[in-house]
Structure 1
Amino acid sequence: MLDPMTIAMLNHEPVFPDPNGATEDGLVAIGGDLSVERLREAYRQGVFPWPIPGLPVMTWFSPDPRLVLPLQPPNLSRSVRRALREHGLRITFDHAFDDVVAQCARVPRDGQSGTWISPVMRQAFGALHRAGDAHSAEAWLDDELVAGLYGVAVGGVFCAESMFHLRSGASKVVLATLMATLSRNGFRLLDAQLPSTHLYRYGGEPWPRTLFLDQLAEQRDRICLPTGSWRDVPPADPVSPTRRRRP
C-alpha cells in the first residue's frame, strides 16, 4: 500500500521532486493532472506517468535501472538486420499518431491482462502530440498499419512509450528505422524506460538512474528536430551508415 507520508503528493503546479528520491520500485510522486505542461516537465526530469490499476490518482515513476539505447553508433543484432533487408514496409512519422496509440492499447501482450493506456492517457498524449512534443513512427504494408510506436522528444533524447505489431518482424523495422532517423538528426539516446531483453537486440543497456538523469540534463535543451509535426521527416536507412548531423 502507498504511504502518503513518504511519497510526494503533487498539486496544481507542474513540478516534481528529485527523482533520485524515488522508492525502490521507482515511484516518484502521486497525484496531479496530465496537462501538456506537466507532461513536458515530467519528461524533462526523467519522470513518466504509469497508472497503478485500481488507484484513483496518477502515479509517476523514474525506475532504476533505466533501459537506454545509445544511438551512436547503431548496434543491431543479426536477426534485426535480416528483418530490415526483407521487410518491404513503408515507414512514416506522425501520419497516424492516434491510431498507433489506440493499437498499443488494444493489442494483447504476453503476461498482461489489460493495458495502462487508458482513455485518459490516450487523450493526454494526443494533446501532447498536437503540441508538437509527442510523436509516432508507423510501418505500413500497402495501406495497412502493421506496426508502430510512440514517445516524447526531449531535446536529444527520445522517450519511447509503447509499441505494437500486427505482422511478424514489423516492430523490428519501425524501431530500427526510428533509431537511425533520430541518430541522423542528432539525437543521442532512446529511453526505453524499463528493462526488456527484446531491446537488447538494438544495443539496449541498463543504466543507473543517476547516469541517465545526468545525460538527460545535458541533452534536454538541445534542438535536434523542431517542435511540431515530423510528417515530412524522411526515414533513414538503418542498415546503411548515416552521417550524423552536427549538434
Structure 2
Amino acid sequence: MEKDGINIPLHFLGDKLEFPPVEMASADGLLAVGGDLSPERLLLAYKNGIFPWFNEDALILWWSPDPRMVLFPQKVKVSKSMRRVMRSQQFTLTQNQCFEQVLDCCAQVERKDQEGTWITPNMKSAYMELFQRGIARSLEVWQENTLVGGLYGVDLGHVFCGESMFSLTSNASKFAFVKLAEDCLAKNYKLIDCQVHTPHLESLGAELISRSDFMGRLKG
C-alpha cells in the first residue's frame, strides 16, 4: 500500500468528529484526509476499522484497506528455532513499563522501502495521551537490562490494533509478537489487527481477510 503518488479521495475531514463509511475507501484503502489526532478521533477511528498512516511532511491520511491483515491468536506460528528461543530465557518481557521508549525505538528503526517515519512528534503525543488513558499498550523485550525489542498498539478490549514493532537483536520482535498472541488468546481476544500484509507478519501466522469480515468481528 503506497502513500505517495496516490489519488487523494474527496473525503476531507473538518472539525466534526466523524468518518465516512469504510466502504468509501479507495482501492488502495485510503478513506479520508485531514482532521486531527485527538484521542477522541483516534479512538473513533480504531473502533471503526480505520487507522492513520502518513509521511512526516504530509496531510493526515486515514486508511481502511480491503483485504485486512489480521492474526487470530490461536493461529500464531512459532517455528522450532523460535520455540527454543522462547524456552531459553534469553529474553524477559514487561508490559507498559516504558511505552515512550518503545514508541521512540519504533520511530527510529530503519525500514526497507520507507523513507523517514510516520511516527511524527504529533503522532507520538497522540499515542502518549492514549497510553495515559489506558487505551494504548506496549510490550517490552529485555536482554539482561537492555531494551532490545517491543511493540505497541491500541487495545479495544476484544481486539488489539498493532501499530508498530522494533527489534535491535535477532528474534526480539518475534518474541514480543508471540507473547502478545499468547496474552490475547488467554483473554479471549477475537484477533490482532496487523493492518497491511508483510511477509514477516505472514510468517508469524497473520492472514488476509475481507474488510467486511474484519468489520463484523470488530463490531461483533
With normalisation by structure 2, the TM-score equals 0.92
**How many percent identity over aligned positions?**
41
Residue 230 of structure 1 corresponds to: none
Residue 240 of structure 1 corresponds to: none
Given that 2:70 and 2:194 are in contact with CA atoms closer than 8 Å, whether structure 1 keeps it comes out as yes
Residue 60 of structure 1 corresponds to: 62
Residue 153 of structure 1 corresponds to: 155
Structure 2, gaps ≥5 residues long: none
Shift of 1:50: 0.6
| Residues 119-174 of structure 1: CA deviation (Å, up to 9, x unaligned) | 11111111111111100000011211100100001131000000001111111111
Alignment partner for residue 43 of structure 2, among 40, 50, 54? 40
CA distance in 2, matches of 1:202, 1:11: 39
Given that 2:20 and 2:31 are in contact with CA atoms closer than 8 Å, whether structure 1 keeps it comes out as yes
Aligned AA (1:173): F
CA distance in 2, matches of 1:183, 1:54: 38
CA distance in 1, matches of 2:65, 2:183: 26
Superposed CA RMSD:
1.7
In the alignment, is residue 196 of structure 1 matched against residue 198 of structure 2? yes
Residue 187 of structure 2 corresponds to: 185
Aligned AA (2:41): R
Residue 7 of structure 1 corresponds to: 10
| Residues 168-200 of structure 1: CA deviation (Å, up to 9, x unaligned) | 111111110111011111212001001011112
Shift of 1:64: 1.4
Q: Choose 70-79 or 196-205, whichever is displaced more.
A: 70-79
Residue 17 of structure 1 corresponds to: 20
Aligned AA (1:33): D
Residue 233 of structure 1 corresponds to: none
CA distance in 2, matches of 1:88, 1:42: 37
Shift of 1:86: 2.9
Residue 30 of structure 1 corresponds to: 33
In the alignment, is residue 51 of structure 1 matched against residue 67 of structure 2? no
CA distance in 1, matches of 2:130, 2:173: 23
Write out aligned runs for 1:91-240 (5 A): 91-218=93-220
Shift of 1:65: 1.4
| Residues 220-246 of structure 1: CA deviation (Å, up to 9, x unaligned) | xxxxxxxxxxxxxxxxxxxxxxxxxxx
Q: Number of residue pairs matched?
A: 216
CA distance in 2, matches of 1:197, 1:73: 16
